[in-house]
Amino acid sequence: MVRQIRTIDLFSGAGGLAKGFAMARCGFKTVFAVEIDPDAAMTFKHNFRCKVHVGSITTVPEYPEADVIIGGPPCQGFSRLGRDRSDESRAQINELWQEYIEAVRRVRPKAFVIENVPEFQRSPQFERLLELMDTDEDFSAYAYNYGVLNAADYGVPQNRRRGIFIAVRDVAEVAWPPPPTHGPRSMHETPYRTVRDAIGKLPSIPMGIELEEDRVPQNLHLGRNLTQLSIERFKAIPPGGNRFDLRRNRPDLEPKCWANKPSGTNDVMGRLLWDRPSVTIRTEFYKPEKGRYLHPDQHRPITHREAARLQSFPDNFYFVGNKPSIARQIGNAVPPLLGKALAKFVLEIAFARPDDSAITSSDRSFVVQPGEERDQLVDRRVRHLTVVGPVGKRVVGDETVVPFVDPVTVGVGVLPHVGC
């Protein structure tokens, strides 16, 4: 059995980031989560079966022991989209990162990961975080690094830029960035995943409108009751087009409030492009007036299933709540595939054995799950599995023990060409 790397998820949301850590199959196991939104908390509980504190982080009585803390303090306070909030509400949200830091102080994990909007890294709060990391005794043993990553570089069929901060205790340095797996900067220049890759095989007509509770598997390929006027507007927008095509082709249908706005973003009422990653999926992706959320060639906005896929959620991830609540959970999430890349990066820096001469800096350490078959390894693009331990058992990092079931198909490898 793989010994777990116990993980706490703060501001967990539905669990996109946690799902990525689980998908990395490196032993990360969420043992405790904190989430104020009851629907998101129930979603998290359903998918991860761990203890969830449903309430504000300010009311957590105590934290369990853990090896890693991950989480994204809410970002409306920093993001451009949150500027319509009152100063007081923004100030309160802006200070929630300190609760995260308090949790780190109490748990003292081997590593922690903070995810936020890129703007956070340009805020006075971030300056305070860096000052704390450099001057506070509790944090002096942590090396850290940070930057803005695009989810598309990690196999997500979506351009989504996130500010990521990673700190690891008792290591010399945290290199940067985590190596991209897709796009021009990836080792094999693997093409970006596209909208077509993600949703091209879904039925073009949604499978109903209302969410059916208890339906298994969950059907999120749900449309909306569109008015004839909306449909006529969408018909006036060609592939790749946007609201300016509506103005050109059917000025009689242009909403009056847009008539006075001759310029502005090209994304409003835009169509997604089949052969590129999508735009950032936000919480109201089902409203085409909010962004480039029209289907590439159908006269409708994208469905919840399409949005979840563009976020790289697997179809068997179950969401609790009504349609707007699920949309919020999907739009707020860290794309699981970005989380997966972060998990592998943290594993390598924080939990790989530094004294293992077989592991060179260009190799990636890799845990093969007990019972995993050769075919699954091929699926995971494992090309060269070098079993580096004695047949029977292998220690990874300080604690992770993988008993071998079969010396060929189960083990721990150093894999120079792990492309995922």
Ligand X SMILES: C[S@@+](CC[C@H](N)C(=O)[O-])C[C@H]1O[C@@H](n2cnc3c(N)ncnc32)[C@H](O)[C@@H]1O
- Give contact residues for ligand X (rule: CB under 6 A): 11-17, 34-37, 40, 56-57, 72, 74-75, 96, 332-334
Which of 50, 75, 257, 420 does the annotation list as catalytic? 75
- Does residue 71 contact residue 109 with C-beta atoms inside 8 Å? no
Q: How far is the CB of 116 from ligand X (least distance, A)?
A: 8
Closest to ligand X by CB, 9 or 306: 9
Q: How far is the CB of 333 from ligand X (least distance, A)?
A: 3
List the one residue out of 86, 163, 159, 65 whose CA is nearest residue 117: 163
| Class of residue 184 by CB neighbours under 10 A (exposed 0-12, middle 13-18, buried 19+) | exposed
Beta partners for residue 285, in sequence order: none
Whole-number CA gyration radius for the chain: 23
Q: How far is the CB of 34 from ligand X (least distance, A)?
A: 5
Q: How far is the CB of 202 from ligand X (least distance, A)?
A: 22
For 86, half-sphere exposure in the C-beta direction (CA atoms, 13 angstrom radius) is: 3
Query: To which H or E segment does residue 9 belong?
Result: strand 5-10
Closest to ligand X by CB, 37 or 306: 37
Q: How far is the CB of 398 from ligand X (least distance, A)?
A: 27
Closest to ligand X by CB, 35 or 153: 35
Q: How far is the CB of 113 from ligand X (least distance, A)?
A: 10
- Catalytic site includes residue 75: yes
Closest to ligand X by CB, 18 or 387: 18
Q: Which residue is nearest to ligand X (CB)?
A: 13
- The encoded tokens of residue 409 equal 């198909």
Closest to ligand X by CB, 96 or 326: 96
Q: How many CB atoms lie within 10 A of CB 358?
A: 13
356 vs 270: CA distance, rounded Å:
52
The 10 Å CB-count burial string (b at 16+, else e) for 27-64 is bbbbbbbbbbbebbbbbbbebbebebbbeebeebeebe
CA distances, 235 to each of 79, 110, 230, 252, 272 (Å): 33, 54, 9, 13, 14
Residues whose CB is less than 8 angstroms from the CB of residue 85 and which lie 6 or more positions away in sequence, other chains included: 76, 77, 93
Q: How far is the CB of 192 from ligand X (least distance, A)?
A: 21
Closest to ligand X by CB, 206 or 331: 331
Closest to ligand X by CB, 14 or 156: 14
Instruction: Render 46-111 in DSSP notation, one character per residue.
Output: HHH-SEEEES-GGG-------SEEEE----TTTSGGGTTS-HHHHHHHHTHHHHHHHHHHHH--SE
Residues designated as active site? 75
